[in-house]
Amino acid sequence: MRESRRRTLRAQEGEVVARAAERARDVLQDSEHARRLLRMMLLIRRFEERAEEQYTRARIGGYCHLAIGEEAANVGSIDCLEADDYLFVSYRDHAAALAVGSSPEAVMAELFGKETGVAGGYGGSMHLLDVERRFLGGWGIVGGHLPIAVGAALAIDYQDGPGAVLCQFGDGATNIGAFHEALNLAAIWHLPIVFQVINNLYGMGTSVKQASAEPELFKRACAYRMHGERVDGNDVLAVRDATGRLLARAREESEPALLETTTYRLRGHSVADAGKVYRTAEEIASWRERDPITRYVEILRERDLLDDEELDTMRKQVADEVSEAIREAAAAPTPDPDELYENVYGDEQWRDQFARMNTAAPYGERRETRSWQR
């Protein structure tokens, strides 16, 4: 960013922070907005429960990581994105796609590997994307998307454009080399990016305490003289307040930040993991009591922004919406295996070369692909 613009923005900093805090408080004053946050969390919860069920029916292939219990960390932050902002997330990405506005039909269809999916059936559960909404994935390599997100922030800065980047990742990613490279570059180049670590206390079966020399992950920001902050990731309003403030600062002052949102995945690492071997029943029960949806419902009730009838209606609506998404995804066509190499290379000549090859013939993948698709 040009020095003159940075100076002007710094002068406005106090005003920017005050405005952001005001916006966060406004949510409970705007009953429609307040209820929209709850509705999205309910939709995600229902979507994930049904995705789990569909996986056991073999309608979803490959991996499938659910965000049950992490809804507030996703919805509170993604709600702060504005039209010019970009979003990057890890493979636990269904909630992010829904929160950014992708339709449940298109997200479910992607999980089913169908042509109508958000990635045309090429990506599956871990590689959702919605370019129109500036949601640039869904990434399967732990920490692999952080440098890419920094590249997007560099592009915004280089072109003197509006907007910022929100990059979400798990606690496990903070021990990957790319995390340190990404934070270092973002700090020395003053890039407009918020790194949000969704600390759910475990990377597969390894706890943060076992894996991290500094388990208070937000403190890692100080190694890069970057602002670091931790909030309760099961409190949707706290997440929204912090993300709103830090994104505003990124957009308007072009400064990065590391935001740690502490939460808990109520299911196992993936659908194939029961999640009970490395965690005690007491620990899981204690986090159930801090369920982000129950807590937010209580806040809305206390403020007279929601009654039992409205809650029931909302639950029923999202359940119907997800059922419809499943019906549509099941009925949607599967992509033709001969199109497997399309979009791999932009250059026509390489596409022609792949068109002459027999798709994945040495490994029999053509047959495998067909056998699990219904």
Ligand X SMILES: Cc1ncc(C[n+]2csc(CCOP(=O)(O)OP(=O)(O)O)c2C)c(N)n1
Contact assessment for residue 48 and residue 293, using Cβ atoms and an 8 Å cutoff: no
- The region of 2-10, 101-109, 171-179, 307-315 touching ligand X under the rule CB under 6 A is 171-179
Residue 269 touching ligand X (CB under 6 A): yes
Q: Which is nearer to ligand X, 163 or 203 (CB)?
A: 203
Decide: 137 and 89 in contact? Cβ < 8 Å: yes
Distance CA 335, CA 121 (A): 7
Give the rounded distance of the alpha carbon of 238 from its chain centre: 17
Under a CB-based contact definition with an 8 Å cutoff, are residues 21 and 237 in contact? no
Task: Please choose, out of 130-138, 147-155, 163-171, 218-226, the segment that lies near Mg ion by the rule CB under 5 A.
Answer: 163-171
Which residues are 194's β-sheet partners? 166, 257
Longest dimension (CA), the chain: 65
Beta pairing class for 206-207 and 202-203 = antiparallel
Q: Which of residues 196 and 200 has its CB atom nearest to ligand X in the complex?
A: 200
Are the beta carbons of 236 and 174 closer than 8 angstroms?
no
Cβ-contact 335, 121 below 8 angstroms: yes
How many beta carbons lie within 10 A of that of residue 92, not counting itself? 24
| 371 alpha carbon, distance to own chain's centre | 31
Interface with ligand X, residue 202, by CB under 6 A:
yes
Nearest distance from C-beta of residue 85 to Mg ion, angstroms: 24
Q: Residue 97 CB, nearest distance to ligand X (Å)?
A: 15
252 binds ligand X (CB under 6 A): no
Q: Going residue by residue from 78 to 97, which x/- string records binding to ligand X, judged by CB under 6 A?
A: ------------x-x-----
* Beta carbon of residue 119, minimum distance to ligand X (angstroms, whole number): 18
Residue with tokens 């899981």: 284
Residue 267 C-beta: closest distance to Mg ion, Å: 12
Residue 97 contacts residue 67 (beta carbons within 8 Å): no
Q: Do 300 and 34 meet the contact criterion of CB atoms below 8 Å apart?
A: yes
- The kind and range of the H/E element at 223 are none
- The residue within the footprint of Mg ion, chosen from 104, 163, 170, 335 (CB under 5 A), is 170
Write down the least CB distance from residue 354 to ligand X, Å.
Answer: 26
> CA 162, 15, 184 angle in degrees (round to 5)?
55
DSSP state, residue 200: -
Query: Which member of 89, 98, 100, 142 binds ligand X (CB under 6 A)?
Result: 142
- Does 69 bind ligand X (CB under 6 A)? Our answer is no
Identified binder of ligand X from the candidate list 16, 17, 21, 204, rule CB under 6 A: 204
Tell me which residues in 197-256 interact with Mg ion (CB under 5 A): 200, 203
**Taking contact as CB under 5 A, which single stretch among the options 95-103, 127-135, 167-175, 363-371 is the one that binds Mg ion?**
167-175
Question: Which stretch in 166-174, 227-235, 254-262, 292-300 sits in contact with ligand X by CB under 6 A?
Answer: 166-174
Q: Binding-site residue total for ligand X (CB under 6 A)?
A: 14
CB of 185 to ligand X, least distance (A): 19
CA distance 294 to 281: 20
- If one asks whether residue 140 binds ligand X (CB under 6 A), the answer comes out as yes
Binding segment for Mg ion (CB under 5 A), chosen from 47-55, 88-96, 131-139, 192-200, is 192-200
Strand segments (E) across 202-271: 202-203, 206-207, 227-232, 257-262
From the list Mg ion, ligand X, none, partner contacted by residue 269 (C-beta under 5 to 8 A by kind): ligand X
Binding site for Mg ion (CB under 5 A): 170-171, 200, 203
Binding site for ligand X (CB under 6 A): 90, 92, 140-142, 170-173, 200, 202-204, 269
